[in-house]
Amino acid sequence: MGTGEQIVTVAAVLLGALTTHLTNFLMERGRKKHERSVRWDERKLAAYENYIDSVRACIFLAVQLYEVKEGLRESDQDERQILAETTEAGRLRGRTFERIMLLAEDDVIEAAHRLNDAAFQVDWQANGKITGSLAEWRDRNRAVFSAINAFHDSARADLGVSGTVSGVRHPQRDLLLPPSQRH
């Protein structure tokens, strides 16, 4: 084998080794990027779940407080106890909101702000910081659940989940009320 053939052979081996190394490097980098993306998606999903859970807990406590104050429901707890639970639930909602601020993209953060605004309206009427009729109370509750659905839609888009919570196939739902309270 001549010198020229040996140089070509060595160059081919070096080119093959370089190509293999470059391919492995790019594949490993892509794998790590994908793992990082999945890890953040898992954390986002957990943050979104915890936030919605905390918002719903606040709403249900506000409903309990409002109904006890208005004489629509009897409870083993007095208003002061329910208000204390409502305050603690609000604190937890604030903590979960901060995680949204850290992990979410802009549309989700804006949806969370709108949801907080609607939830505060429910809280404030329940604890007497603002006044309103039963019809206004129900409108505030409808608004907060609509804001929850909008948050779900934004969160789903951020996570790459197809579909929507509301729309043609999932029309807007109204509050579920016992027949005696639907007026």
- Return the pLDDT at 142: 93
| The pLDDT value given to residue 169 | 59
Tens digits of residue pLDDT in 16-46: 878 887 777 677 776 667 565 556 889 999 9
pTM of the model: 0.74
The pLDDT value given to residue 38: 58
Q: Where are the domains of the chain?
A: 48-163
Residues of the chain with pLDDT under 50: 183
Integer Rg of the chain from CA: 27
**Contact assessment for residue 26 and residue 33, using Cβ atoms and an 8 Å cutoff:** no
pLDDT score at 37: 56
